[in-house]
Structure 1
Amino acid sequence: MSETPADTPKRQRAPSKRALQTKARVLDAAETVFSIKGFDGATIRDIAAEAGEPVGTIHHHGGGKERLYHQAVARRAGPLAERRLAALAAVKAAGDVTIERVLTAFCSPFFDLAQEDPVWRCYARLVAQVSADSRWREIRAAHFDPAFEVFLEELSALLPDVPRRHIVATFVFSVSALLALLTSRDRIGEFEAGDIQDTEDLRSLIRFCAGGMAAG
């Protein structure tokens, strides 16, 4: 039986350059507003005002508030995971794998991105929200857990005599410490008389976390 025109699936046209730019602007605004006000405090009108777009445009490109939150979190998670896994591959290829080097491979990509572009510090606040709220377990599982588990296995292999629960707990603490560093840099400056560079803070954090993990 031949297909009738009604049976033939319609081809969807690729989004125009203008549409893609509008969606990026909507997601940028969502990221900013959610990072400041949180999911519960933010409104679609807040995001529309930040984006300089009508409310209808926000709904068209982002859907409802929850879907928009998912998209705002998801869009940077992939590039971040890719950088982390590439850094870990480089550590393994070079040999002499240590706890500090594995933690550096995990932490440095996020840190470097935040140094290159302040929007990543904004994104860090979003990730901190997702990490702390059980509502977003699905987002964590889809976008953050796969890379986390790869690093967890590497750390476990380096610490065969340390209970796995301790490794998991201290790795989670390490992630929380990284997010705190990315989101509260000014707070450190309030108590530091000298001119400490961000990279020194990261090295201190990694040494601290590695020591706690190895202590068992």
Structure 2
Amino acid sequence: MEKQRKRAPSARSLQTRARILDAAEQVFAERGFEGASIRDIAALAGVQVGLVHHHGGGKEELFHQTVARRANDLARIRLENLETLKARGDVTLRALLDCFIRPYVSLAQNEGAHWLAYGRLVAHVSADPRWRWIAAECFDPTAGRFIDEICALYPEIDREWIATGQVYSVAAMLAHLNTSWRVEALSPGAGELRLEQLIEFSAAGLEAMFRMDG
């Protein structure tokens, strides 16, 4: 007997799912995984609790889907920029960091508050080992590509040092966008840091680590 074809989701269903994921992103970002509830996500999305379960599954799977959604877009932009850089033959440490950092910073500054909220989700995932499997799926393949490129530039440096520097750079990137208010509090008028400062900070930190390894 011929298998019945699975029908593609309707436009309305896709819109509902997007609204649920938008709400989940905001609630998870504000309250973390433990503080968020399916009921609150449903209320913010304007849907019944059952629809959240229908589109997102349980709470853990909904968190996974919420993180994965924007990770795919961000990875694509980063890798496209990397290929353009390599085609130009202008691969340097600072250029690689620019390819990795600039896409997210630009999205967070220009494409709406949801990208800033997404950065908080990335911070939640990075800080909690129980989300190791989400990080492995959503972030590690792209991070690994950039680590490979830095390793090719510095073949004498252990990969461990480069991977550590990559993680520190991601932490600096998230701080650049989410804690500028702290900079402003400590030094009024200095809260708006430039992207070039962030890239230089990250590159200088990696180079200092490389000298230690050497």
TM-score relative to the length of structure 1: 0.91
Q: Which residue of 1 aligns with 2:93?
A: 99
2:53 and 2:158 map into 1 onto residues whose CA distance is 48
Deviation at 1:195?
5.9
2:2 and 2:160 map into 1 onto residues whose CA distance is 54
Deviation at 1:56?
1.2
1:197 and 1:135 map into 2 onto residues whose CA distance is 34
1:171 and 1:197 map into 2 onto residues whose CA distance is 23
Deviation at 1:15?
1.1
Deviation at 1:95?
2.4
CA contact (8 A) 2:183 2:190 kept: no
Q: Which residue of 1 aligns with 2:200?
A: 207
Q: Which residue of 2 aligns with 1:12?
A: 6
CA contact (8 A) 1:107 1:178 kept: yes
Deviation at 1:97?
1.7
Q: Which residue of 2 aligns with 1:3?
A: none
CA contact (8 A) 1:100 1:207 kept: yes
Deviation at 1:28?
0.3
Q: Which amino acid counterpart does residue 206 of structure 1 have in structure 2?
A: I
Q: Which amino acid counterpart does residue 175 of structure 2 have in structure 1?
A: A
CA contact (8 A) 1:26 1:51 kept: yes
1:24 and 1:185 map into 2 onto residues whose CA distance is 30
Pair member with larger Rg: 1
- Does 2:53 correspond to 1:85? no
CA contact (8 A) 1:122 1:183 kept: no
Residue of 121, 127, 148 corresponding to 1:126: 121
Deviation at 1:197?
4.1
Where structure 1 has 5 or more consecutive residues not aligned to the other structure, the ranges are: 1-6
Q: Which amino acid counterpart does residue 207 of structure 1 have in structure 2?
A: E
What count of residue pairs does the alignment treat as equivalent?
Answer: 208
5 Å-filtered alignment, 1:1-216, equals 7-116=1-110, 117-194=112-189, 197-198=192-193, 200=194, 202-215=195-208, 216=210
1:97 and 1:11 map into 2 onto residues whose CA distance is 47
1:159 and 1:204 map into 2 onto residues whose CA distance is 23
Q: Which amino acid counterpart does residue 119 of structure 1 have in structure 2?
A: H
Superimposed CA distance per residue, residues 111-160 of structure 1 (whole angstroms, 9 cap, x where no aligned partner) = 11111222111000001111111111111111111110110011111122
CA contact (8 A) 1:162 1:214 kept: no
2:171 and 2:92 map into 1 onto residues whose CA distance is 21
* 1:158–1:13 distance in 2 versus 1, CA, 3 Å: same
1:12 and 1:157 map into 2 onto residues whose CA distance is 46
CA contact (8 A) 2:182 2:191 kept: no
